[in-house]
Structure 1
Amino acid sequence: MLLRKANVVDGALALLDDTGLDGLTMRKLGEALGVRAGALYRHFPSKQALLDAMAERIMASVEVTLEPGHWSEQGVALAGRLRHALLRHRDGARVVAGAYTAEAHTVLFGNTSAALLRQAGLPPRQAAWAVAAVSQYVIGHTIEEQARADLVEGGLWSKKMDAFTELSDDVALSAFDADPEERFVYGLQLFLNGIRHELSTTE
């Protein structure tokens, strides 16, 4: 079988789902694809180059076409779609976090988000910074969410929460043990409130 770039990325994402990011190596990927690891370097000169391509594939699954509506509703939709794209693959958020890739779909997401805030009234510089802040929140939240899922699967989450309960109260515990979706939306609204404040001071 002729090994193509797309096949390598497909195999890498499948291996990621199976082993997690820490288990993804060029050697293991080569074994999964039935080739020597050296064959992979013909398409990707380094593991980081492969991770960049994986990040771009993940970002390609984020739908950026928006329904008509208020900028805040459209922003919530984009952030939610990014989170769900990251959650589709084990450690997907960690892959995207380390990429800083300038590939087409990654750039499209950033440009679409920034244009949304510029149209709402933010100056270009502040719009770009706001997009970076919100994107980093989404990625960071999802990294923690996926780490929690791994702990739950490994039977370690309840033990950690039991140990935490001994040192804290139920209110503090809820910051860790609440529904991830609910906490995500709450945190996102805090960012939106900050952007609304910025808009009120630029009018």
Structure 2
Amino acid sequence: MPKRQDASPPAPTSPPPPATRAHALVTAALRIVDEGGLEALTMRRLADANKLQLPAIYRVFSNKQALLDEMAEAILAKALPDGNEQDWEAEVTLVARQLRQALLAQREGARIVGGSYAAKRHSLTLAERLVGVMRRAGFNGVAALWATSTVFCYVLGEALEQQGLTDDARDRLAFPGARQTYPQLFSTPVEEILNFDDRFAFGLGLILGGLREQIPGKDLP
């Protein structure tokens, strides 16, 4: 009877392909930011969290900015709504709200996206969609580009301020002597400055109204 041979040892596991590895590292980096803020993210901490040596991280991302650019891409991937609106104003509103939601869903999402100027797939797709909407509204060339930038920067700025809100912000609005020192400001319901949802809708409405008035060839009264 032939002697039974021992089973061959399992073949060593090959490392995941670069795209898969990058996706896993970006997910881990966003988790670190969620837990400790953007300052908590270092390449060393990312390596430790993934049980990797630091050089393995740098083989995927040449530096921290390259990592942040991919983190911005991951956030913007969730910014584009699936549906489309026939009316250009409704479409801009839909995209702006979805972008805001994506930024706010990630801790420091606005800082991450605002610090990245990389021309990548999702950032270009978002710009392409907004420029297309602006062209449908009647803007062309630089006007379509700047109208797109106006909407994007408004959403980004609003999300940035909201994410920078501290627990004592409301209390700091009412410091002693504030009403006497700044009577014009405090003649308004100043606490409403922290009503981010309604203020976002109001500001977006102002932008849409301004764009409406600038449409080339628009019939004036």
* Residue 174 (structure 1) aligned to one of 177, 191, 195: 191
Q: Given the alignment of the two structures, is residue 61 of structure 1 paired with residue 61 of structure 2, yes or no?
A: no
Taking structure 2 as the reference length, the TM-score comes to 0.82
* Cα distance change of structure 1 residues 122 and 164 upon mapping to structure 2, 3 Å threshold: farther
For residues 36-95 of structure 1, the C-alpha deviation after alignment (integer angstroms, 9 at most, x for no partner) is 333211100010000000000111112244333210011000000000000111000010
Which consecutive aligned stretches of 4+ in structure 1 deviate over 2 angstroms post-superposition?
63-69, 156-159, 161-168, 174-177, 200-203
- Write the distance in 2 (CA, Å) between the matches of 1:35 and 1:201: 60
Kept in 1: contact 2:28–2:49 (CA 8 A): yes
- Write the distance in 2 (CA, Å) between the matches of 1:160 and 1:95: 27
- Write the distance in 2 (CA, Å) between the matches of 1:157 and 1:50: 32
Q: Which residue identity is paired with 2:85?
A: P
Aligned CA RMSD, in angstroms, stands at: 2.0
SS at match of 1:45: coil
Q: Given the alignment of the two structures, is residue 183 of structure 1 paired with residue 204 of structure 2, yes or no?
A: no
Higher relative contact order (CA 8 A, sep 6+): 1
Gaps of 5+ in 2: 1-12
Q: How many aligned residue pairs are there?
A: 197
Deviation at 1:102, TM superposition (A): 0.9
Structure ID, larger Rg: 2
* Cα distance change of structure 1 residues 201 and 21 upon mapping to structure 2, 3 Å threshold: farther
- Write the distance in 1 (CA, Å) between the matches of 2:109 and 2:164: 11
Deviation at 1:158, TM superposition (A): 3.6
Indicate the larger mover: 18-27 or 69-78.
18-27
Kept in 1: contact 2:193–2:199 (CA 8 A): no
Q: Which residue identity is paired with 1:182?
A: D
For residues 76-120 of structure 1, the C-alpha deviation after alignment (integer angstroms, 9 at most, x for no partner) is 000000000001110000100010121111100101000011011
Q: Which residue identity is paired with 1:120?
A: A
* Residue 87 (structure 1) aligned to one of 104, 112, 115: 104
Q: Which residue identity is paired with 1:86?
A: L
**Identity of aligned pairs, percent?**
32
- Write the distance in 1 (CA, Å) between the matches of 2:107 and 2:176: 26
Q: Given the alignment of the two structures, is residue 52 of structure 1 paired with residue 64 of structure 2, yes or no?
A: no
- Write the distance in 2 (CA, Å) between the matches of 1:161 and 1:31: 42
SS at match of 1:67: coil
For residues 129-167 of structure 1, the C-alpha deviation after alignment (integer angstroms, 9 at most, x for no partner) is 11011101100110000011xx12xxx324322328724
* Cα distance change of structure 1 residues 164 and 34 upon mapping to structure 2, 3 Å threshold: farther
* Residue 169 (structure 2) aligned to one of 125, 146, 157: 157
Gaps of 5+ in 1: none
* Cα distance change of structure 1 residues 102 and 165 upon mapping to structure 2, 3 Å threshold: farther
Listed as ranges, the matches of 1:1-203 within 5 Å are 2=15, 4-148=21-165, 151-152=166-167, 156-163=168-175, 166-167=178-179, 168=182, 169=186, 171=188, 173-177=190-194, 179-199=195-215, 201=217
Q: Which has the higher helix share?
A: 1
